[in-house]
Structure 1
Amino acid sequence: MRRCRPLPYGTVRIPYGYVWWVSEGVVVPYDVIVVGARVAGSTTAMLLARAGLRVLAVDRAAFPSDTVSSHQVQVPAVARLARWGLLGRLRSAGTPPTRAVRFDAGRIVLAGAFPASGGVDAMFSPRRTLLDTVLADAARSAGAEIRERFRVERLVWRDGRVAGVRGRCGRGPEVTETSQLVVGADGKRSLVAAAVGAVAYREQSVRTFASYGYWSGVPLDGGELYHRPGCAAAAFPTNDDLTMVYVASPLSEFAAARRDLDGHHLRQLDGCGDLGARVRAGVRAERLRTTPDQPNVLRTSFGPGWALVGDAGAVMDSVSAQGIAHALADAESLAHAVVAGLSGSLPLAAALAERHRLRDRTVRPMFDLTLRLAELRSRRVDHLMFAALADRPADAERFFGALSGTVPADRFFTPRTVLPLIGAAGWRRLIG
């Protein structure tokens, strides 16, 4: 993996037969430069390189390295990794699959499995030190250049369009790289989005703060989800025989909780069945990670010479654990649009506009569900629905599918679906 080695001098042939001269002070133009090389960025780079484009992906981090994450690779996202030939890398690294799931709403517990998607019937919760490295390696193997420890300082503009980036490796000299398109895959605080003035056309306030840690000696029979007033919690198996234990709490509690984050985390778990006791009996392997930086924003995702992917363009609270799944799906959608635009099948602007519309149609239902989950409220209609699902295994599986993204959220969490579940008696109790 490239770590800021200097470019060779001479001529370099890039796709579609163009030849560019490389000499001191002049940098080889790329078809696409991707800023950010974690899940969304490396996936975008991999897919574009597999299509024959000349791609540079840069990241200020080096791999393997960790980052704050919800961990869950939901079933549809696992199906994508399998289709791209990457799931085997996660399996061979000892990442355990999760097929069984339990949803504990207090008085009602639902047990079942995630619906299959694309021939896959399990989700995975890999450490980001593993997942991000697998994706970056795959991008490099596809022919993309991955430049680590590279900090983008500003964008290059030409005739009103983004034409490249300027940045440096560590304390090295500032260099310029140019391309037909710059993709911002640099997360929820995207430098690219800020530099181009990407409009946030839907934005909701931060509702929760999240904390998670890794424990050994915490037995699980599958994934566990807990829904309580003022708390959402999850426990899933991850690498190295560890259990990742996550808690979402109201943002209003953060100032008090930060005085004793470890204690707050455990006290929240104590209200989740016997999970607190099991965690206290285990051994924490690493420090607790905590973040109140959980924006809910949809941004314009393209413009002249630029596009956004993953959290840079659409980000939501981690309570629904959809970040990785969204990043993979969004990268695939963007790659299709870019290949169509740069190959001449469609004007690039038209291809990116259609992809933006597709992204909104896809992400809005889960965005709305995430906002609802992030309220951390217990509604009467929810308890009536959970009670009905306890006696209907097939519908409970669809419920798990809606949480994981296998079933579109707007096809399950609607009056047309919920009212027949709770029945006339439940409806009378709800409005009574």
Structure 2
Amino acid sequence: MTNNEYDVIVVGARCAGSPTAMLLAKKGFRVLVVDRATFPSDTVSTHMIHAPGIAALQRWGLRDAVQASGCPAIERYSFDFGPITIAGRPRAVEGISAGFAPRRMVLDQILVDGADRAGAEVREGFSVEEFVIEDGVVVGIRGHGKDGVTVTERARIVIGADGRNSRLAKTVAPLQYSESPRLQCSYYTYWRDLPTDGFETVIRPYRGWAAIPTNDDLTMVVVGCPVAEMDAFRSDLEANYLKTFDLAPEFADRIAAATRVDRFAGAAVANYFRKPYGPGWALVGDAGYNKDSITAKGISDAFLDAERCAAALANHFDGGVAYDDAMAQYQRDRDTNALPIYEFTLQLATLEPPPLEMQQMLGAVAGNQDAEDDFVSITAGTVSPVEFFDPANIGRIMQAAA
């Protein structure tokens, strides 16, 4: 490759990077996407792709590949609060209401293949050593592949899709805002012979867990506890993980009859927004915006972020829109859509018992199927928290219960 041959270099080829590269390549741009991993490979993940993310896969022609992987459709969501359980089917978006929760070794390979078929150049096993900056503008990357030979590649724009520990973000130090510290830590593993009815969530004071069906007839079960208890919890991870289920005896019986088939994985993550663009660079996915995993929104958000970023860059490259104007619109669209669920997620992630007013509202929702469907749609991403918690809507729910 000669200097400046690429329009875009994308660093990171998972849920944000490969879709961004694919969408830009489909528009005819010259795209290089690199990742230090080789695929298929695993990574820590919430697995869940809610309906808006599935709709994105449908638009990209990749939904069938996910379904064909043997990953079951998730059509029902339930939230067991102890005294009450709220369960329903999410509202549809583009005719889609079901989600899927594929293993990342399955999903990421599908995404990488999609980028490759679209015409992006994909380099697996490529480690970025540094970003090339000239006169304050990011103009490329320097790194090496499996052969160990250092190469320099240049582009009009370098995109960081390299996660919450983004090396590009550390290099350019973007403005970070609406920050919150880590609130809860979560650990998961996989179980065989653990039937589950869709996306099951159990919420108890200062503990919570979810059971989600995935590939190979396995169920992923993730347990969360407040970050203040993280060190004590992981001091005997298996025992504390299993002890948590005693808070719901029926679930404890089910998991006692199941077989664990993998190691534990997990993390506690910070919550933030970062300015997602600057001279010669942009950020997508967790590199630009991250929140606690309790609502399992990371993958779906990464897909939509990729679409917005790719559209903004296309407006700049081909549409004559100034770079700062196009990317500022990308940031506004991202933040407008993300902020309500971000705030809702942070409230849930404290794992504190809901206040009395919230308990009363949840009690009114239970047994009202329309309201239950709307409530589960918040997590699914098809009903905004702003819409659901609008005083007029809550008033209607309370009046119906009365």
State the shift of 1:424 in Å. 11
State the shift of 1:154 in Å. 1.0
Question: Which of residues 78, 87, 90 in structure 1 aligns to 2:66?
Answer: 90
Counterpart residue number, 2:322 = 347
- Give per-residue Cα distances to partners, 1:207-235, cap 9 Å, x unaligned: 10011110001112222111211012111
Counterpart residue number, 2:308 = 333
SS at match of 1:124: coil
Question: Which of residues 59, 65, 69 in structure 1 aligns to 2:41?
Answer: 65
The one-letter amino acid paired with 1:111 is A
- Equivalent runs, 1:44-83 vs 2, <5 Å: 44-83=20-59
CA contact (8 A) 1:163 1:179 kept: yes
The one-letter amino acid paired with 1:204 is S
Structure 1 residues 121, 425: closer, same or farther in 2, change over 3 A? closer
Question: What is the TM-score of this pair, normalised by structure 2?
Answer: 0.97
- Give per-residue Cα distances to partners, 1:365-412, cap 9 Å, x unaligned: 111011001011122222212211112111111111111110112211
CA contact (8 A) 2:78 2:376 kept: no
The one-letter amino acid paired with 1:226 is V
1:106 has 2:82 as partner: yes
The alignment yields a C-alpha RMSD, in angstroms, of 1.5
| Higher Cα radius of gyration | 1
1:422 has 2:398 as partner: yes
SS at match of 1:39: coil
Counterpart residue number, 1:268 = 244
State the shift of 1:111 in Å. 2.3
CA contact (8 A) 1:153 1:166 kept: yes
1:248 has 2:248 as partner: no
Q: Supply the distance in 2 between the matched residues of 1:425 and 1:82 (Cα, whole angstroms).
A: 38
Q: Supply the distance in 2 between the matched residues of 1:121 and 1:425 (Cα, whole angstroms).
A: 26
Counterpart residue number, 1:375 = 350
- Give per-residue Cα distances to partners, 1:142-178, cap 9 Å, x unaligned: 0001111111111111232110111112461211000
Question: What is the TM-score of this pair, normalised by structure 1?
Answer: 0.90
Higher relative contact order (CA 8 A, sep 6+): 2
Question: Which of residues 267, 288, 293 in structure 2 aligns to 1:318?
Answer: 293
Gaps of 5+ in 2: none
SS at match of 1:98: coil
Question: Which of residues 272, 275, 282 in structure 2 aligns to 1:300?
Answer: 275
Q: Supply the distance in 2 between the matched residues of 1:382 and 1:270 (Cα, whole angstroms).
A: 25
Q: Supply the distance in 2 between the matched residues of 1:355 and 1:127 (Cα, whole angstroms).
A: 29
State the shift of 1:83 in Å. 1.5
Shifted more, 368-377 versus 408-417: the winner is 408-417
- Equivalent runs, 1:24-173 vs 2, <5 Å: 26-27=2-3, 29-170=5-146, 172-173=148-149
State the shift of 1:197 in Å. 1.1
- Equivalent runs, 1:175-324 vs 2, <5 Å: 175-292=151-268, 294-324=269-299
The one-letter amino acid paired with 1:56 is L
Q: Supply the distance in 2 between the matched residues of 1:269 and 1:145 (Cα, whole angstroms).
A: 46
State the shift of 1:101 in Å. 2.2
SS at match of 2:233: helix
State the shift of 1:257 in Å. 1.2
SS at match of 1:364: helix
SS at match of 1:121: coil
Gaps of 5+ in 1: 1-21, 427-432
State the shift of 1:425 in Å. 9.8
Structure 1 residues 424, 111: closer, same or farther in 2, change over 3 A? closer
The one-letter amino acid paired with 1:34 is V
The one-letter amino acid paired with 1:362 is N
Q: Supply the distance in 2 between the matched residues of 1:344 and 1:375 (Cα, whole angstroms).
A: 44
Counterpart residue number, 2:334 = 359
SS at match of 1:236: strand
- Give per-residue Cα distances to partners, 1:27-77, cap 9 Å, x unaligned: 562000001000000010000000100000000100000000011100111
Q: Supply the distance in 1 between the matched residues of 2:374 and 2:248 (Cα, whole angstroms).
A: 24
Q: Supply the distance in 1 between the matched residues of 2:376 and 2:205 (Cα, whole angstroms).
A: 20
The one-letter amino acid paired with 1:302 is Y
Q: Supply the distance in 2 between the matched residues of 1:109 and 1:298 (Cα, whole angstroms).
A: 33
Structure 1 residues 86, 160: closer, same or farther in 2, change over 3 A? same
Q: Supply the distance in 2 between the matched residues of 1:273 and 1:333 (Cα, whole angstroms).
A: 44
Q: Supply the distance in 2 between the matched residues of 1:135 and 1:399 (Cα, whole angstroms).
A: 30
1:412 has 2:355 as partner: no
CA contact (8 A) 2:87 2:376 kept: no
Q: Supply the distance in 2 between the matched residues of 1:29 and 1:157 (Cα, whole angstroms).
A: 17
Counterpart residue number, 1:430 = none
Counterpart residue number, 1:17 = none
CA contact (8 A) 1:247 1:269 kept: no
Q: Supply the distance in 2 between the matched residues of 1:236 and 1:243 (Cα, whole angstroms).
A: 5
Counterpart residue number, 1:16 = none
CA contact (8 A) 1:106 1:273 kept: no
CA contact (8 A) 1:47 1:332 kept: yes
Q: Supply the distance in 1 between the matched residues of 2:184 and 2:395 (Cα, whole angstroms).
A: 29
Q: Supply the distance in 1 between the matched residues of 2:259 and 2:375 (Cα, whole angstroms).
A: 33
State the shift of 1:419 in Å. 4.1
Counterpart residue number, 1:6 = none
CA contact (8 A) 2:190 2:220 kept: yes
State the shift of 1:315 in Å. 0.3
State the shift of 1:272 in Å. 3.0
CA contact (8 A) 2:91 2:374 kept: yes
Q: Supply the distance in 2 between the matched residues of 1:259 and 1:176 (Cα, whole angstroms).
A: 44
State the shift of 1:420 in Å. 3.9
The one-letter amino acid paired with 1:328 is F
